[in-house]
Structure 1
Amino acid sequence: MSRRTGAAAALAAVLAGGPLAAHPHVFADAQTELLLDDQRRLTGVRLHLVFDEIYTAYMAEALELDADKDGVWTDEEQIFAAEQNLNGLDMWNWYVHVRPAGGGGKLALKPAEEAHAMQIGDRFALSYVAPLAEPAALEGEGVELRIYDPYFYASIKLLDAEDGATLEPEAVEGCLLTRAPAHVDRALQKRLLEFAAEETPEIEGVEEPGFVFADRIGLSCG
C-alpha cells in the first residue's frame, strides 16, 4: 500500500524507528509564488518549504549529510539533499495542486526544476519550481491553488498574510490574488491519528485527506 519512493522512502526509513507514528509526522512552513508570463497566464508555481527540526535531523542522518560534523552542509551535500527530497514527489504532484476555479481536474505539471536546498538554523529548507505542462489562462474565474501532501504524511502550512502567496511579477494589472483559510476538520484529524506511519490513509468520502487542511489560493485576471 506504500506509495513512497525516493525522498519519501528515506523519510519512511528514518521515521520507522523514531518517536512519531501517526499522521501527520512531518511539518513544514511554506511560501509560494505564482509565476505569470507576459500574457498574464499562469506558467508554474515556485514553492519554498522549511521543514521542522526533527525531520531535518532524521533526514540529515539518513542521507549522511555533514560528514565532517561541523554543523554546516557543503554545497555538494545541499545539492544531494535537494535531489533526494524531490525524487518521487511527482507521485504527490510536488505538493502543488492547481485546478480551474470553476471546477475540473488538476492541471498537469512538468517535472520540478530549479531545486535548491539550504540550512536555516536547525531546519532544512527546500525550494523548487513546479511548471505547468501548459500555461493556464486566467480570465473569468481563473484558477485555484492548494499546497498539500495528498496523504497528509506532511502537514504544510502557508505563512500568514501576504507572505504565504505572492505573484511574480509582483504587480500585474487586472490580476487578483485571494486566499481563503482551510476549514480544519477535527473529526478527520482524529481519524488520521489512527493510521500508523507506514500506512496510507484511506477514508471513505475523502479522496485526498491533505486537501481538507489546505488554504485555497485564488488567481484571476480580468
Structure 2
Amino acid sequence: MKRQTISLIAMLSLLPLPALAHPHIFIDAKFEVVAAPDGSIAELRNVWRFDEVFSSSVLLDFDKNGNMTLDPGELKAVGKTVRNSLAQYDYYTNVTSNGKAVAMAKPEEIRADYKDDALILTFSLKPLQKTSLKGTTIFGIYDKTLYTAVDFAADSDMATSGEAFARCKRKVVRPNSDEIIAQNQATLTSMFFNDPMGTNYSQLVATRLEVQC
C-alpha cells in the first residue's frame, strides 16, 4: 500500500520539475455550482474522468488481487489517496468572489469508480465560510503547474443549480491561448511556463464560469 500511495501521489501531486510543466494527465470534467436557498454557495460538485493512460497506471498500482479491475476496497484506497494528496493544490479549484479568493473545505469523501478503462472521481467541495452570490463570482478548475489538463467539452459541463441563480447572469469563458501569449509576449520567459510552483499563465488560459448576481 505504501508503494501504491507514493505512486499515485507522484502522479497527482505534480512533481516539481520544469520538464513536467505541461500536461501529462488529462481530465474530462463536469462541474456544478449549487446555490443554497439563502443565495449563498452550498457546494461545488465535480466529476472527473481521467485519460486511459493515467487510468491504467492507477489500475496497475492499486489492483492488489490482480484481477485487472478495481474492486470496492481498492477504489476506496484510490479515493482516500487522492483526497489527501490534492489537498495542498485545493483540488484544482479556484473561486473568487468580487476578486477575493474563496477557501474551500476538504471534501468529506472522494468516490472513485473504474468504468470503460477510465478512472472516475466524484466529490463535492464547500466554502469554509459562508459566501453569498453577490456581485461577480468566478469559478475555475485548473492545475496551476500545467501538469494536469482539465477540459470541459461543452459549456453545459459548467452548470449551476438552485433558485438563487434565477437572478444571475452566467457565462462560460474560454480564453484563446494564442491571444494570451501575444498579449504577454514581453513577459514570456522559460520560468513563466516552467515554474514548478505554477504561474498565472494557467489561470489566464483556463476555462472558467463567471456569474453576475
Same fold flag (TM > 0.5): yes
3-state SS, counterpart of residue 49 of structure 2: strand
How far the C-alpha of 1:42 sits from its partner, in A, is 1.1
Superposed CA deviations along residues 144-196 of structure 1, whole A, max 9, x for unmatched, are 0011011111010112131x11123378431333211123145899958x85x
What is the RMSD of the two structures over their aligned residues, measured on CA atoms? Answer: 3.1
TM-score under structure 2 normalisation? 0.79
The residue aligned with 1:76 is 73
Taking the aligned partners of 2:20 and 2:140, their CA distance within structure 1 comes to 26
Aligned partners of 1:142 and 1:11: how far apart in 2? 34
Shift of 1:6: 6.4
TM-superposition CA deviations, 1:86-126 (whole Å, max 9, x none)? 212121111110002x423x111111224211113111110
What stretches of structure 1 of length at least 5 have no aligned partner?
A: none
Compared CA separation, residues 146 and 21, structure 1 to 2 (3 A)? closer
When structure 1 is superposed on structure 2, of 119-128 and 21-30 the one drifting more is 21-30
**1:83 Cα deviation from its structure 2 partner:** 1.1
Structure-2 residue corresponding to 1:97: 94
> Which structure 2 residue ranges, 5 or more long, are not aligned?
none
Residue deviations 1:30-71 (CA, integer Å, cap 9, x gap): 100102111121133111111111111112223x326232x3
CA distance in 2, matches of 1:159, 1:87: 27
The match for 1:65 is: 63
Question: 2: distance between equivalents of 1:12 and 1:173?
Answer: 37
Matched residues in 2 for 1:217 and 1:12: separation?
Answer: 24
Whether the aligned pair in 2 keeps the contact of 1:98 and 1:107 (CA below 8 Å) is: yes
Partner of 1:210: 202
| Matches of 1:146 and 1:169, distance apart in 2 | 19
> Segments of 4+ in structure 1 off by > 4 A?
5-8, 185-192
Q: What is aligned with 1:144?
A: 138
**Which one has the bigger helix percentage?**
2
Please say if residues 114 and 128 of structure 1, whose CA atoms lie closer than 8 Å, have aligned partners that are also in contact: yes
Letter in structure 1 aligned against 2:40: R
Counterparts in 2 of 1:30-49, with a 5 A limit?
30-49=29-48
Contact 1:7–1:85, Cα closer than 8 Å, also in 2: no
Cα pair 1:145 1:218 within 8 Å, conserved: yes
Distance 1:73 1:190, change over 3 A: farther
Q: Deviations over 1:127-148 (max 9, x none)?
A: 1111111121112x23000110
The one-letter amino acid of 1:39's match is D
